[in-house]
């Protein structure tokens, strides 16, 4: 079966970039991305392509080429479902905040709504593709909803998890390490798998397209994120030991990473991992293990989260201790708020938790991030529920210029590894700060020798 029309439900960080790249690479396929969020769709359709709602290097160019040709953004979900032969579900699957599984399980209400809408609207056979990250065996639930509507339409369900990382989404989509497609192990399942293989084969070498059964595919996504996050927590655990022993975590990471069995990537010690997925997906894995009575398995993976929380908290505590045990009414300047560089996404960013800790100590925080707005910062903090928005507003402000942000500060905390931070005039920043002028580098980004020479009291992670 040759696919000519694709619909994607969810125009977020995954649906938007993924579909833009499919459309660019497959001009013969019409791709329509739909969302209930009218503002988001409006921005995807903004005549100035620089105003699209997601900041990703290279994405505006891809959208500019395909939009209006074979890439469309719309709020008419029913129409797009009706017309498509293949429907990707790419909606959010956050951690549940209520009921059973609260704080651990994935909330599948948006997925179920999509399945019910597809069932209601479809008049022709469809291939439904799980693009969202889902608990293993979700395809069973989707199948049950789709097959019980009694309208005679046949559905095939595929799992096609997305492995892109934010900040490098376009590059990751252009050159994926692998594309994973899981489907039913019968003739119809095989046919559906092949239809999706043919879409990716327009730009991905066939030997990088891996096909499995549905459950392996669903589970592999959670496991990939758990393994990646585990590396960060492992090196962060060692960073604390380095600080006590005189070892240097950068040197240790290099030394172990040169063992080809360990590898050099994802061993950067930091203030802690953030992002919308690592924590949510590990908690989901923990919940699944618990639900099968596998308590040791659950405890093993939960430790990755416990270590990450510890890393964020100890970074904040160290600032307070070093500033003579009080930061009350002192100005702490944050360089960076996003959870990593080259993205405007702040979900679960370590900066939020460090700020929360320092606000409890009555610090005044000034933030400079090249891509994050004041409204977003306030909403991140207010979401935590530690204090009212008015109280947050009183103690946290933003500056539109990094030098303004650092003026009068007692300390700078570097939370995101934006490249531009390395290029600042640090002599100028030093001259305008309170002395002693402290820098807490949560990303081991800056040049320690240079900053120390200028006069800063510089502290990094793990040395």
Binding residues for NAD(+): 10-15, 35, 40, 91-95, 132-133, 166, 277-280, 347
What values do phi and psi take at 182, rounded to 5? Answer: -110, 140
Residue 26 designated active-site: no
Residues 318 to 337 in contact with ligand NAD, rule: CB under 6 A? none
Handedness of CA 259, 252, 231, 267 (dihedral sign): negative
Q: Give dist(CA 46, CA 43) in Å, integer.
A: 5
Task: Give 157: exposed, middle or buried? Use CB within 10 Å, 0-12, 13-18, 19+.
Answer: buried
Distances (CA, A) of 185 to 118, 189, 194, 213, 447: 23, 6, 12, 6, 55
3 state DSSP class of 295? helix
The catalytic residue among 7, 26, 114, 277 is: 277
Residue 273 interacts, among ligand NAD, ligand UGA, none and using kind-specific CB cut-offs from 5 to 8 Å, with: ligand UGA
274 binds, options ligand UGA, ligand NAD, none, Cβ within 5 to 8 A by partner type: ligand UGA
| Site stretch for ligand NAD (CB under 6 A), options 58-66, 85-93, 195-203, 258-266 | 85-93
Judged by CB, which is closer to ligand NAD: 343, or 463?
Answer: 343
Residue 35 lies near ligand NAD (rule: CB under 6 A): yes
The β-bridge relationship of strands 438-441 and 411-414 is parallel
Binder of ligand NAD out of 3, 8, 13, 84 (CB under 6 A) = 13
CB 130 within 8 A of CB 158: yes
Beta carbon of residue 163, minimum distance to ligand UGA (angstroms, whole number)? 4
Q: Output the smallest distance, CB 150 to ligand UGA, in A.
A: 36
- Token digits of residue 202: 């327009």
Binding mask 270-299 for ligand NAD (x = CB under 6 A): ------xx----------------------
Q: Which is nearer to ligand UGA, 67 or 221 (CB)?
A: 221
As measured in angstroms, the least distance from the Cβ of 390 to ligand UGA is 29
Burial class, 152, CB count within 10 angstroms (exposed 0-12 / middle 13-18 / buried 19+): exposed
Q: How far is the CB of 169 from ligand UGA (least distance, A)?
A: 8
Residue with tokens 């590990």: 282
| Residue 354 binding: pick among ligand NAD, ligand UGA, none (C-beta 5-8 Å cut-off by kind) | none
Choose among ligand UGA, ligand NAD, none what residue 36 binds, the Cβ cut-off being 5 to 8 Å by kind. Answer: ligand NAD
Provide the edge-to-edge strand list for the sheet that holds 5-9.
71-74, 30-34, 5-9, 86-89, 126-130, 155-159, 179-183, 209-213
Cα 13 to its chain centre, rounded Å, is 8
Least distance CB 350 / ligand UGA (angstroms): 7
CB of 203 to ligand UGA, least distance (A): 18
- Cα 335 from chain centre: 20
Interface residue list for ligand UGA (CB under 6 A): 133, 162-166, 225, 228, 232, 266-268, 270, 273-275, 277-278, 339-340
**For the purposes of burial, counting CB atoms within 10 Å of the CB of 355, is it exposed (0-12), middle (13-18) or buried (19 or more)?**
buried
Q: Which of 118, 41, 42 is nearest to 79 (CA)?
A: 118
Residue numbers in the known binding site for substrate are: 162-166, 221-225, 261, 268-274, 339-340, 443
Site for ligand NAD in 109-168 (CB under 6 A): 110, 113-114, 132-133, 162, 164, 166
Q: Tell me which residues are annotated as active site.
A: 277
């Amino acid at each position: 079966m040759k696919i000519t029309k694709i619909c994607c439900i969810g125009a977020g960080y995954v649906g938007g970039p993924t579909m833009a790249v499919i459309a660019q690479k497959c001009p013969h396929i019409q791709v329509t991305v739909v969302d209930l969020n009218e503002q988001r769709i409006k921005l995807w359709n903004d005549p100035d392509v620089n105003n699209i709602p997601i900041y990703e290097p290279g994405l505006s160019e891809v959208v500019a080429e395909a939009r209006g040709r074979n890439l469309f953004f719309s709020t008419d979900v029913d129409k797009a479902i009706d017309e498509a032969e293949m429907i990707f579900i790419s909606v959010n699957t956050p951690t549940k905040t209520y009921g059973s599984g609260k704080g651990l399980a994935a909330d599948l209400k948006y997925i179920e709504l999509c399945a019910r809408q597809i069932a209601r609207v479809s008049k022709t056979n469809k291939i439904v593709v799980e693009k969202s990250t889902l608990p293993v065996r979700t395809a069973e639930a989707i199948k049950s909803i789709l097959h019980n509507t009694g309208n005679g339409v046949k559905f095939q369900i595929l799992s096609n998890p997305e492995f892109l990382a934010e900040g490098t989404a376009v590059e990751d989509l252009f050159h994926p390490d692998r594309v994973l497609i899981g489907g039913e192990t019968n003739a119809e399942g095989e046919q559906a798998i092949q239809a999706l293989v043919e879409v990716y084969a327009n730009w991905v070498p066939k030997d990088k397209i891996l096909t499995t059964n549905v459950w392996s595919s669903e589970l592999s996504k959670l496991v990939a994120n758990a393994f990646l996050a585990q590396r960060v927590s492992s090196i962060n655990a060692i960073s604390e030991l380095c600080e006590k022993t005189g070892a240097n975590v950068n040197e240790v990471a290099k030394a172990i990473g040169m063992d080809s069995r360990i590898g050099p990537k994802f061993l950067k010690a930091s203030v802690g991992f953030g992002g919308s997925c690592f924590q949510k997906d590990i908690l989901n894995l923990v919940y699944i293990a618990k639900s099968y009575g596998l308590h040791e398995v659950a405890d093993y993976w939960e430790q990755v989260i416990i270590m990450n929380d510890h890393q964020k908290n100890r970074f904040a505590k160290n600032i307070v201790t070093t500033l003579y045990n009080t930061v009350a009414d002192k100005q702490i300047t944050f360089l960076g708020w996003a959870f990593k560089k080259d993205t405007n996404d702040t979900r679960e960013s370590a900066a939020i938790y460090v700020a929360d800790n320092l606000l409890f100590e009555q610090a005044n925080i000034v933030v400079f991030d090249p891509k994050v707005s004041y409204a977003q910062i306030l909403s991140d903090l207010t979401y935590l529920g530690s204090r009212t928005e008015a109280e947050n507003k009183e103690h946290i402000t933003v500056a539109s210029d990094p030098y303004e942000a650092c003026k009068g500060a007692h300390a700078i905390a570097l939370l995101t590894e934006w490249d531009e931070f390395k290029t600042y005039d640090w002599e100028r920043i030093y001259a305008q700060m309170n002395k002693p002028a402290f820098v807490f580098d949560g990303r081991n980004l800056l040049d320690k020798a240079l900053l120390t020479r200028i006069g800063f009291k510089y502290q990094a992670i793990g040395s």
